[in-house]
Amino acid sequence: MLAQEAARIIVDHGIRDFRLAKQKAADRLGVLSRGSLPGNAEIEAAVAEHLQLFGRESHADHLRLMRVAALSAMDLLASFTPRLVGPVLTGTADENSAVNLHVFADSPEFVAHELAEIGITFKPYERRLKSRRNQLETFAGFEFHHGHSTIEATVFPVDGIRQAPMSPIDGKPMKRVDSAAVQLLLEHI
pLDDT tens for each residue of 51-105: 777 766 677 888 899 999 999 999 999 999 999 999 999 988 888 889 999 999 9
CA 168 and chain centroid, separation: 11
pLDDT tens for each residue of 145-166: 998 899 999 999 999 999 899 9
Pairwise CA distance, residues 62 & 51, whole Å: 11
Q: Count Cβ atoms below 10 Å from residue 146 Cβ, excluding itself.
A: 18
The predicted model scores a pTM of 0.80
Supply the pLDDT for residue 11. Answer: 79
Supply the pLDDT for residue 100. Answer: 97
User: Which conformational region is residue 93 in: left (phi greater than 0), alpha (psi within -120 to 50 degrees), or beta?
Assistant: beta
So where are the chain's domains?
Answer: 2-54, 57-187
CATH architecture, domain defined by 57-187: 2-Layer Sandwich (3.30)
Q: Give Rg (Cα) of the chain.
A: 17
Supply the pLDDT for residue 55. Answer: 63
Highest mean pLDDT among 16-30, 31-45, 66-80, 175-189: 66-80
Q: What is the mean pLDDT of residues 123-151?
A: 92
> Is residue 16 scored above 80 in pLDDT?
no
Cβ(84)–Cβ(177) below 8 Å: yes
Question: Which residues, in sequence order, are bridge partners of residue 85?
Answer: 100
Cβ(153)–Cβ(97) below 8 Å: no
Supply the pLDDT for residue 109. Answer: 97
Q: What is the mean pLDDT of residues 122-145?
A: 92
Task: Share the mean pLDDT of the chain.
Answer: 89
Supply the pLDDT for residue 142. Answer: 98
Confidence of residue 4 (pLDDT cuts 50, 70, 90): confident
Supply the pLDDT for residue 35. Answer: 66
Supply the pLDDT for residue 103. Answer: 98
Q: Count Cβ atoms below 10 Å from residue 114 Cβ, excluding itself.
A: 18
Supply the pLDDT for residue 37. Answer: 81
Supply the pLDDT for residue 99. Answer: 97
